[in-house]
Amino acid sequence: MTMDSAVVSAPAPPSPVAEGKAVADEAIAFNDVTVRFTTERGTVTALEKIAFSIKRGSFLTLLGPSGCGKSTLLRVIADLIQPSAGSATVLGVRPQAARKNRDIGFVFQDAALLPWRTALQNVALPLEIGGGRAPRGPRSPAELLELVGLGGWEQAYPHELSGGMRQRVAIARALVSGPKLLLMDEPFGALDEITRDRLNEELLHIWASTGTTIVFVTHSIYEAAFMAQEVLLLAARPGRVRELVRVGLPTPRKIALRETAEFVALAAHLRRVLESC
C-alpha cells in the first residue's frame, strides 16, 4: 500500500576483503563465548562456547530455531549482554569500546522509534546523544531518509507510517552516525512477505553503497540465504554454532535469484543442517 519501490542507485559493492585488510581484518571475533542467565527456576545456558569470526564489510546472517540464542549473540556484540565466559572482539576492540566509539548501529524487530519524534527527528536522534560530540556519518538525516525511500515523509510521526516505513526509518537512524557495524535483530520479521522481499533487496543496496559490515538475525531460511555472504547456523538449547556457511551467490542480487538452482540447493542445505540440530 504505502510502499513505493525506492530504487537506490548504488555503486558496485566494495570488495570486502580488500577493504578489510587495510585495518584490523576482523569485524567480529568470538572466542568461546558463553552466556548464562540465572532465574528463579535455575540457570539457563543461552550460548555455549560460540567461536567464529567474520571479516570487515561482510554480510553475516544468524539463522536458527527460536531459543538458539540469535538475539543474545547479537546483544553480546552490541555490549547489551556481557559474556559469562570467553571473550568477544568487535572491530578489533572489546564490545564496550566499540559501543563507546559509536561504531555500532542497531535495528530492532519493531523499529523502536520514539513516537513523539517525526521521522526526521528520529533519524537525527543519535546525533543529539553525547552532548553534541556524537560522530556524524557521511550522510545527513534527510539524505538517509531519501536513501531508504522516505523522501517527503520527514515530518510524519511514527503512528502515521506503515510497519515497513517505520522499519526504514529505523534503518536510516542506525546509519546516521556512520557505523562500521550494523546489527539487525529480525528487522523484517513482523512485515508481510512482499514488503519484506522489497526491503531485503533495498538493504543489500544500502550494504553495497555504505560498505558497512552487517549482522542480520532471521528465522527465515530464504532471507538468510538471500542476504548473506556468510550464514552462521545455530542450534538450540544451548545455543551453539552448527556451521558457518559461505555463500558464493553473485552480487548484486535480485529476488529472482531465489528461483535459481544454486539458491535452491543452498536453501536445501541450510534446511538439512537445521533439521539435524
- Interacting residues with another protein (CB under 8 A): 1-2, 4, 75, 78-80, 99-100, 102, 104-106, 108-110, 112, 114-117, 125-126, 128-131, 134, 152-153, 156-160
CA-angle at 196, arms to 167 and 61, nearest 5°: 85
Least distance to another protein from the beta carbon of 116, Å? 4
Q: Which is nearer to another protein, 121 or 230 (CB)?
A: 121
Least distance to another protein from the beta carbon of 137, Å? 13
CB 95 within 8 A of CB 263: no
Least distance to another protein from the beta carbon of 133, Å? 11
Q: Give the count of alpha carbons within 13 A of 14, CB side only.
A: 18
Q: Which is nearer to another protein, 118 or 210 (CB)?
A: 118
Q: Which is nearer to another protein, 134 or 244 (CB)?
A: 134
Q: Which is nearer to another protein, 190 or 267 (CB)?
A: 190
CB 87 within 8 A of CB 97: no
Least distance to another protein from the beta carbon of 90, Å? 12
DSSP 236: T
Helix (H) or strand (E) holding 115: none
Q: Which is nearer to another protein, 132 or 138 (CB)?
A: 132
Q: Which is nearer to another protein, 16 or 141 (CB)?
A: 141
Q: 276: exposed, middle or buried (C-beta count within 10 Å: 0-12, 13-18, 19+)?
A: exposed
Q: Which is nearer to another protein, 188 or 226 (CB)?
A: 188
Q: Distance between CA atoms of 23 and 150, rounded to whole angstroms?
A: 34
Least distance to another protein from the beta carbon of 210, Å? 18
Closest C-alpha among 147, 201, 208 to residue 174:
147
Least distance to another protein from the beta carbon of 11, Å? 24
At 238, the amino acid letter reads: P
Least distance to another protein from the beta carbon of 29, Å? 20
DSSP 4: -
Distances (CA, A) of 217 to 2, 71, 186, 224: 25, 7, 5, 8
Q: 138: exposed, middle or buried (C-beta count within 10 Å: 0-12, 13-18, 19+)?
A: exposed
